[in-house]
Every structure is written in C-alpha cells, then in structure tokens.
Structure 1
Amino acid sequence: MKIIFYPILYLLFSLCVNFSYAQDYNVFTEDMVEVKLISSVTKVKKENFYIGLDFNLKPGWKIYWRQPGDSGLPPNLDYKNSTNLKSLEFKWPIPIKEYEAANLLTNIYKGNVTIPIEIAVEEYNKPLNLQSILNFQVCKDICIPFTTNLFLKLDSGESNYTKYFYKIEKALSKVPLNYKKLGIKNISIAKDSTKSLLLSLESALDFPEGIIEIFLENKDEYIKINKITIHENLNRKISTKLLLEKDIKDINNLDVIFVKGNLAISSKNIRIESTKSNNIYIFLFFAFIGGLILNFMPCVLPVLLLKINRILTVDNNKTSNIRYSFLLTALGIIFSFIFLAFITIFIKHITGQVGWGIQFQQPIFLLFLILILVIFSLSLFDKIQINLPSKLNNNINKYLGNQNNGVAFFEGALATLLATPCSAPFLGTAVSFALSSNLYITLLIFLFLGIGMSLPYLLFILFPSLVKFLPKPGKWMIYLRYILGTGLILTAIWLSYICVSIIDLAIFIYFISAIILFILIINRLYLKKYYLIFIISLLIGNIFISYDNSYLKYKYNKIHEKEWIKFSNKKLLNLIKQEKTVFVDITADWCITCKANKILVLNNSEFKQLILDNEIILMRGDWTQPNKEISDFLHRSNRYGIPFNGIYNTNLINGYLYSEILTLEEIRQSLPKLHSSNAK
C-alpha cells in the first residue's frame, strides 16, 4: 500500500509546486499603498510579453511618473538578481499634471495604476525568476519613501492569459505610440523665443475630443511647460504656443509627447526650426507683391477695364471726389480679402482643409458671380438701370455720397472675387504660409494681399493730380464702355462653361431664365406687350423642362489627352517604387494661370520632346470639382492652391515643386536634381 501511496503523494506535490510556480508573486502592503508584480501570461513565452507593476493607492496619495517634474521621485526597479531575464523595459502611461504647494508642477498617478513592463527572456523553455528591489515614494501632504523586495516567477510551457491581461492591456492603451502609427502626418517645433515654442501637428484623421496636454524632454532632461496656448484646434490640425520655465537657446532637438482625449503620441528627436515670426516680414512682402501683380493677371483684366472707366468718370475738378472714389474701391478690395480670410478660417475650423480658389468649385458661388457680371455688363451697354426704392436709395446715398461712389466699392469687391482663380508669382508662397499658420497670421497675410492689390488706387488717393495724365473724356468713351461690357460678358460665358461642367444643364437654364426675368421685372418691361409674351413663353418653357428634361441631360466630357494618365496618389507611389519619374500637373477649368501654363509650356512641342527624351510619365489631376484625394495631396505638399506642378522619383519622393508660373527653363534645370541615369 505504501508503495502506491508515496508515488501518488509525490505526483500531487509536484503538481501543486508546478501550479504555484506557473505564476508566483508577493504583495507589499502599507496603510496608504499596495504594490505587486502581475503578469499578463501564465507561462514564459518565446516572444516578448508584458508584466505590470501594479499600485493600489488610497485616496489622496500619489506616485510619480518617470519625469516627476518639480518634486518627487519615480519608482525604480533593481532586477540584477533575476534569472533567465534578457531585458526589461518600462512602458509609462500618460500621467496627470498637478500643481503642489509653492506652484510646483508635478506629473503623477493616483488611485489604481499599472505600469506595464515589456519582458524578453534568454531561453523560453526555462522558467523566469524575476527578483527585484523596488524603491518608490508615495506622497500626500508629506512624501514617504519605501524599499521592498518583489518577485515574480513564471514557469515554462504552454501559456495562457491571466486575469490581469486586460488590466495590463488597458494600461498599455495609455502609453504614447510613435506618431506615424496613429495617422499623424507631421509634427513641427519652431522657436518663438528663448523661452517659448510653437508646436504644430497635422493629422490624416480627425483628432479626438479632449483636453490637450504636452510633455517635452531633451534626452533625459525634463522641460517644464508653464502655459499652453491653443492657436488652432481644428479637426486635422492643431497649433499651440508653449511658454517654458527655462531658457532653451542651446537646445536643438526635443522629444515630444502629445495627448488629446484618448490619443497619446510620441516623437523622438524633433529638430527645433527657426521661428516663423522671424520670417513673417518676408511673407508679408510676398503677399504685398503678389497682390500688386494680381492687377495684371488675365483673370482680372475685365475688372481692370472697369477701373479705367471709373477713373475717367470721376469729376477731375474735385480732388475730394477723386480721393473718395479711389478710397472706396481700395476699401472694397481690402475688405473683400479680409472677408475671404474669415471664410477661409471658418472652413478650416469646420473641415480642417481649405485652398486658394476652391470657391470656384461651388455652383452657388459661380451662379452669383455670373449674375453680378451680367448686371454690370448690361449697365455698361445702357440696357439696364437698377432703380432702388427711394427710401433705401436715400439711406445708401447718405453713407456713400452718390451712386457712383457706391459702385466703386463693389468694383473693388468684384476685382477680388475674379482674382481668386489666379496664382501670381509670390502669391502661392504667401497663401501657403497663411493657410498653414494661425488665425492672426492668416488675417495679416490676406490684409497685405488686399493692400498690394489696391496699391494703384492708393497712389491716386495720395497723388490725385495723376488723373490729369489720363486721356480727356470724349466720344471714344462710349466705345470703351462697349469694350468693358464685352469683356464682362465673355467672363460670364467662361464662368457659365465652368458651371455647366459642375451642375446639370437644365439647372443652369433655370438660372439663366431667372436672370432674364429679374432684368425684365426691375426695368418694368413686363408692362410692354411683346416682353409680356416673352415672359409667359419663358415660364411655359421652364415648366416643360421641369416636366421632361431628359433631352437636356448633358454629359460633360473633356478632350482625352492620351499622353497624360489620371492622377492617383496610390498610382504615383507605385510608379515611384518602380523607379519611374513622374511629372504631376494639378489643374482646373477655373484656373486661368493653369490655362496659361498649358498653352505656353505643357502643350509645347519642346516640353513634350523633353519628357520623351527623359522617359518621364505625365500625370494630371482635375480639381475643377471638389476632390478629397487631390486636396490631401496638395496639403501634404504644403500647397493650398493651383496650378501645382512637381516631378517625382525614388530620389525625390516628396517631389521637386515648380513655381506657379511655369517655364521650360525651370523644368530643364530641375532634371539634374533627379540624379537618375535617364535624366538628360
């Protein structure tokens, strides 16, 4: 009997020992804290696995993060007496920032907190015996240091998850991850002063809701942030100003941890760039020059003719009238640019994305602009006269002085609207800087754009005697008015062409009919027999179209250009991986500068031969209508408008970008930068 009993007893004893050895640990307990080592797995694993340093603190007590701040010490684990341990790495969850007495800022944990620890063993088929000495302090009104021995033993064999697995996983979810893994496209730091930084983040996904917290380190040195000021808090972009405790003039790189809601990201060794404020004067100059050049761009030519007409119709004998008229036109331009800036900021706040000229993608804007142009042109042909109610007209005249001065303001506004599809030299650089900056810089850049564009008017305000150098009024002015009207009608036709490419032709016919009715009604022509018959016929025609407009279904087709492939970001990346060189052109029907680039360069036989000789693939994107893929591509390239032209290959993954006004010489000079054997 004993022969059978002892072997059974031995087996039972062995099973008990193995079971306890599968996961064995001890617990350190005091009145205010309980701490132990816990494991997510029951047995040693071949791949790395996680254990946790688990603290259970009584209310009011706290421990410190790895960078405690102005006071305190973090937990420290000495594990040199362990066996079968290859490496051990703490994964610190995001702490809470708390001010203590004397305005001391500390980074702490409260309540029940688990600090995950990543474990790698030397041999996975042997047990792990983690023997450690833990030094830590818990604080409330006073700090109490503790030293204790903690151990954790894990046997080898087939492993399962323990009851602590989800607790450790939850703690790991609060550990910052590399920003590239969480959809953050870019993190930049610029030095605003020796004690302040500008931090900016751009994301491919919407940021979650929540409070923003930021932690800075320079290697192992903690950089205390006294104040975080939010400049922009958009869906996909956040800009902040960080006021620091100490001088950082000798620091060139920083490690950053950024937290918002359930998002926690980290980035190592970010280079501190030169502050934008040092360069703001350059961009203001670019904005001013870009605005001035807009006066001479093709898209503003019809309004330039209106400007000439305005100058010639001013009473040259009254200096005050000259100055007042030009002042109103200049204010019309400047206020329109400020209005565009606020619209831009609003769209950025709602969508996180915006671009120069994108209002031309919206049919409502196009239809409104067509209406304004038609009214202006018909008034120049003396075919329409808008008679406002006498009371309203008196109120307007009270503020504007006379009808002509009132029109002068709206001429300035119209010039601004028609200028937006243009990209003059310097303009793209200034606008890109404005749209990637905070609210105040955006407003400032747009203000200088307006001042630059209104400079000719400002000169006449300062020197009204310049009017004397203009031609004397005469019969030729009648023909000039016809030229003005024709120019505006042609502009309206161009906008109609764009509008039809975006909306249904039947809808556009409704709109044109509405304009005709509006003109006839305000001029009271509906009282005349022939016009009344025309109005009735127009209404019947629209009713018929509403009943059946199938024959008006207009499919807008572009001329197929076989040498160009359709833009696709995925296709572009694939071609680059195949070591191909790709020339990218982003264009739109409403972009006048794009049309000029096509005529002067891209459709040029010399350009085509250059592309053929260097085996370059041509890729074109159409931004006439809203296109998220193209918008994202432009923003990643730090461009917020078109035309966009760039060349890409394995050596230029981010592309070599050309200026808005494209030239063959610029393209030719860029080819050696490709550093490829097929560049000639």
Structure 2
Amino acid sequence: MKIRRYLSILFVAMCAIAVSAQAQLTAIGDGGPGPVKAQHLTAELVTLGQTIAPGSTLQAGLVLTMEQHWHVYWLNPGDAGEPPHIKWTLPAGLTVGPLMFPAPSRLPLGPLMNYGYEDTVAYPFTFTASPKMKQGPVHVDALTDWIVCAQVCIPGKAHLGLSLTVGPAGAPIAPAGALGEALSLLPKPLPADAQVTVTGGKKQLAITLKSSSITNLHLDDVEFYPIDEEQVANAADQVVTATPDGFQMRVVRADEKEKLPKELHGLLKMSDTESYEFTAAVVPGVVEAAPVKQAAASGVTTLGAIGLAFIGGIILNLMPCVFPVLFLKGLALVQSSGEERKALRSHGLVYTLGILVSFWAIVGVLLILRAGGSQAGWGFQLQSPAFIVVLASFIFFFALSLAGMFDIGLSLTSVGGELAQKQGYTGSFFTGVLATVVATPCTAPLMGAAIGFALVQPAWITFAIFTALALGLATPYLLLSFQPAWTKILPRPGAWMEVLKQLTAVPLFATAIWLAYVYGSLNSGGAASPSEGVYKLSLLLGCFLVLAVAGWVLGKWPAKWGSFAAAVALIALALAVPLYQPKDTNLVWAPYSQGALDAARKDGKPVFIDFTAAWCLSCQVNEKLVLHAADVQKQLSDRNVVLLRADWTKYDPEITKELASLGRSGVPTYVIYPSAKDAAPDVLPELLEKGLVLDAIKRDAAK
C-alpha cells in the first residue's frame, strides 16, 4: 500500500521527548556495571581496564544483548525508534564523550525501514581524566534508557555504574569481545584519495565515490545510511552502478522535502566490516534514473534487450499489417531489376532512414511523456502502481487487437498510403514511415520484454533499444535491395499471417497477467493486509473488462469516428477504475483518559483503544494498513465505536497502568471494550489483520 508523505515525520515527531518521558520508568540495576536483565535484553557497562591515568583516556562501552528477533537502534533510527541514551553522574575532573555508533543494518518491517542492531551491540564511549585529577578510587553513575522492538516496542531503563581507579597507567589492554568488535566497526574517515560528490535531482540524490585505495568492492553490498533524518526515503531501494574509478549510488529523496538539503551527512557501508563517514555539499543537477532492480531480476540486460528488440523488429515484418508492404516493395524490386544496383541500394537505405526517423520520433514523444509522468508522481516506473496500470492496460488492449477483436492496422494503413505510393526516394522514405505506423500496434513476440525494459531505462538505453527495433524492421527490405533475387523465397500473403498474428497475442496476454500480479503485490502492504492487494487487483481486472468492451466497439464498427470516440471514452473510464483514489476518510481519535473510557462505557458505547507510540514501527504499520483501511473505518463509524488513542510516546503512568491491567507491557496493544458495561475487554493481537479487526468490531459492538 502506498505510504503517505507525512508518515515518516509522524514516526519521529515525538521521539525527542521520549527520553525525558522514560525517566519516570522504574530503573533496574543497583549502580553496578551489570549485566542486568531487562525485558528482552541484557545491559551492561564494560571497559578496557579499571585504571585511568591523569591526563589520559579510557575506552568503555554500553553493551546490549537482545533476545532473538528483537532489535535496538542506530543514531538515526530510520522510520521509527530511538537510540539509547546515558545520563552521567561523574566525579570532578572526569569527563565522558558521546556514545559512538557502529555501522548498522537495515531492518525492514512491511513498507517501512529501521536502522539498528540485532543480537549484540556495543556503543563505545571515552572517559577523559584531567591532568590534575587526584589519584584514588572513583565511581561513575549511569542512568541508561533504550527502546527495544520486535512486533512490539518496549522502553527500558537501567541504573548502571563503574568503579574506576585514577592512578598510573597500566599495560595497554587489546580490545576484545563486543566492545572490541564495535570499535573495529566504527565508521572511518574517507581515505585521503577518496572524493564524494552529491548531485541533487527532483526525486533522487546521486552519491558518487571516486577512490583508488578502496578496492575489492562488491556493489551489491554497498549501502548508504543517512545520519541526518528526513533527507532520504529510508525504505526505498538504493541502486549502485560501477564507474571507472569507483561507483555511483542513487537514493530516493524524502517525499516531504521540497528543497534540496545543503549537504548530505551519512556513512557508506562497503561491507560488514568496512564503512566510511562523509559530509558533502549537495549540488543541484539532473539525476538520470538508474536501471530498476526488477529489470535485472527478470534476467533482461541492456544488450539482451537490444538483441530482443532487433529480432522482434524482424518478426514484425511477418505481421498482416506489415508483410503486404514488404511483399509489394519486394515485387517492385524484381520489376526494377534492370535498374542500376547502386540506385536499388539507395532506395533500401532511404526506406531504412524513413523507419529510423519514425522510431526516433516515437522515442522523443515517449521521453517527453515519461518526463511529464515523473513530475506527476510516476517516479519509480515499475515500482509505481499508476505506471503498472497504464502499461498493463496498454499491453492488454493491443493483445486484444492481435487476437482479432479489432484491427488498428487497417485504419492506419490508409493514412500514409498515398505518400507511400509516390515514386523515387520520397516514396521509399514514406514507405518506411508507413511500415512504422502500421507496425506500431502489431507488437511481436520477444518485443514485449525489450520494450518493457526500455520504458524504465535512462534515455540513451531507451533510444538504443528502439533504434535496434527499427533496424530489425528495416533489415529484410534492406537486404532485398542489395539482393533483389532473394524475393523469390518470400512466401505469398495468406491466411497463415492471421494465425501468426493471433498466436503473438498469447505472450502479450501473459505479460498483462504478470503485470497484474505485480500490481497486486505493490498494493498488498505485506502479509498484514493481503486483502488490500486482492481488492486493487480486482479493480485492474475491471479495467481489463472495460478495455475489452472498447475493443469490441472498434471491431463492431471499424474505421468509424463514432466508434473511435466511444472507444476513447471507454478507455478513459477503464483507466479511471484502478487509478481513482478516494478521499481520506480517516476517523478522529480522541486522546485516551480513564475519564473518557468510563464516560463512554457508562453510556453503553463500545470503545476501541489504540495503545501506540511514535517510536513504535509496528504501530505505524498496523494503523496505515489496517486501522486506516476504508472498510474498517466504515465499520467503526457505522457501529458508533468510541475511538481513543493512548499515545505512549511520552511516558504516561495512566496508560502504563491500563496496559498492566490488560496483561501487556508494551505497544502496540489494541483493545475493544464491548458496549455491555460488565463485558470483559477484548484484547487483540499485536499484528493486526483486517478480517480479524472487522470480526472483533462486529462481535464486540453488538454486545
């Protein structure tokens, strides 16, 4: 499901106050180094020694060990979350630096993305002793807080501390364990020879790294992590392409950012053990779209697509709308066999030029339309539901034509027939133009994959693929112009051509089915809401049905202006079915309070309470995919359910008490109090499904 532009802002808007709010939580621990066991993790402080000399430093770290499938957060948590914090109480003369963060990992959840750590992580920090600090034992006190998440998010807090000795420095201790590993994984400055430049486009940022010392790169492993929030779309794909002296990475800008950031601060993670931090000015410019991952995953490469286009262009000559042109021109070559061979070759080259110019004009129009579509929000092409609708509808409609429901080629042939009948080079040139015009609706096998690939590529690749298609279409006649005697092997036009045309509809129908599957997947929103994808898929199938009616109209009354106008109207209606987006009808949720709950229950009204927090990613996914769904909203409205939102972003003892009474300790938690005053609350699972919620509303609102 498409995520609203403001969603990532909502996730982090209140994270800044979560730390002070958690100060009211009960801390575990007795002020010692630990380890102490909290909910779903163990926390402890470790050092590389117990002695710190005056004027020197001592390396230490906070180590968090999570239970399986639980995670904590990096400096920038991503779409939701909060990194750990420590509030220090230090003796005079001793200072401590900020927490340092090893390179994180990407932690996806549905359509969103977190940055953080699983299993075990150490956050290093450094103690510094003043040169005048008195020798002897000292104690440092650390009030530590964190948020640990899986399907639910739970804030935690520990009272930790360290007993150190200020005295002569002992033998250095080699880093080891979790702290040693974390120190080795801290991002490093870029090598002296490395240079990072950032170009900012309308939708993407292009990060280019040039370096001779960073070698043995596996581009599939390279990842970018933004240190500053709200600059990039965290969950979007990052496309990396090799350059002669490094690589270029394209990352998608955050939707809510209208202006380019002045600089980009982040880290490039080259592998599990190597990462570099950088800050670079963002220079406005044009960022050309990179080849999308879907195309690579399907096995189509640029050279492969060019080859498929060339072969497809050759096969186009066998289509009923093209072959008569080729056959008649071949007979003309035989009849002109007395003409100088040089002149015949010139006619073949001019015919080829006519096809090339026509296809180049098509490419120009295509690129203009694609640029306009990008500004309108098509953005990621095959990742865009709107683009999938248009492309699938286009392919399905022309497959209907190939299958014999109607014939576009006959109408188009008459358009350029007179020009093609002219003598001399003008006639040869416009014969090429005519061949292009009548070939356009006759998509041949092997062309579908090539054109589909071309539609989502940079301009030069699109140009190259369509040029190969044009050369494939021109090749048979061009060869005949060099060897007119070969016209003897041409088969005569007949019924076999119609059968071949109908057979070519099969791969196009198969392509439309595959695109329908992609469309359903894009709208499914993950396993939490599969029914949304089924619903959207049914709308696309409805679009196909209306397109079939438009094809029937064209076939029933061919070459009529009235039928053409009716077909255009039906096509517009067909596209509107899946593309129409209804207005947001989200209901208003009132803030939770015990008084509001008691008042609603006293009036005999059912109450739905959403226990949530801005740093809880699962909460946001459930709200977007389930609670904001139109059918859920309708049920809540029709049954007059009182909606209360218990926002736990800022610690609230009243909410904590209510959670405890429900047997829960974290968010998300969802509960429905039935309309019957003495009925027990109905506590729903942490991961919601629409069917489950709808059943619960019907069940509890009727009591």
Q: Which has the larger radius of gyration?
A: 1
More strand by share: 1
Question: Considering the TM-score relative to the shorter chain, is it more than 0.5?
Answer: no
- Where relative contact order (Cα < 8 A, 6+ residues apart) is larger, the structure is 2
TM range (shorter): 0.3 to 0.5
